[in-house]
Amino acid sequence: MPRSVTGPEIERLIQLLAKLPGLGPRSARRAALHLVRKKDELLAPLAKAMAVAVDAVVVCSTCGNIDTSDPCTICADPRRDASTIIVVEDVADLWALDRAGTYKGLFHVLGGVLSALEGVGPEDLNIARLAARAGAGEVREVILALSATVDGQTTAHYIGERLAGMDIAVTRLAHGVPVGGELDYLDDGTLAAALKARRPV
Ligand SMILES: [Zn+2]
């Protein structure tokens, strides 16, 4: 164990920053140093923003999105086309698809995919709520934006079966698009193209 050069408060900050995606111990140290150097301009406002976020963050009981209101900003937006729902595994996928800007419908976040290996069954995912939304009358199309893995495809198949007989088109994004938390790495044009080139499950 190397001897620490900072007090426990800064050491704790470094340890927590190192848990962020994309930050290893080295970059966490660099970020922590930057924060403590810019105590008034950055560290204090960041701490305040985080405290506010802790109190405000909720999971939308309609779609499973993470936001500061329930229903979330997307579900509550009357300009959205309520006849279409894109089903994603993760909130990161929702943010990526929405960022692409071409889609004006609603979303549904599953919270993962079915996995026999990891013991994830339909009841562990936000699927019953999806079926309820799809069956409520307004929905015409459900677009599955799930990963091209075996588990992703099993999940797509399961949802297709679950929604069968509802008079709803169930489609999926064009093949070759990595999803499941990875949509964020795609540029907006690729996302828009994958959305446009969707086809029946
Ligand atoms: Zn929502």
The span from the CA of 177 to the CA of 69, in Å, is: 31
Report CA(160)–ligand 1 centroid distance (Å).
21
Task: Say how many C-beta atoms besides its own lie within 10 A of residue 25's C-beta.
Answer: 11
Ligand 1 centre to CA of 54 (Å) is 18
For residue 181, the CA-to-ligand 1 centroid distance in Å is 18
Q: Is residue 35 a contact partner of residue 23, using CB atoms and an 8 Å limit?
A: no
Residue carrying the six token digits 């976040």: 109
Cα of 29 vs centre of ligand 1, distance in Å, is 36
Q: Is 109 helix (H, G, I), strand (E, B) or coil?
A: strand
How many residues appear in the chain?
201
Chain segment 116-165, per-residue pLDDT in tens? 999 999 999 999 999 999 999 899 999 999 888 889 989 999 999 999 98
Which three-class secondary structure state does DSSP give residue 158? helix
Query: What confidence tens digit (pLDDT) does each residue in 55-74 have?
Result: 999 999 999 999 999 999 99
Asked if residue 109 lies in contact with residue 183, where contact means CB atoms within 8 angstroms, the answer is: no
Ligand 1 mean position to 8 CA, how many Å?
A: 40
Model confidence pLDDT, tens digit, residues 29-56: 999 999 999 999 999 999 999 999 999 9
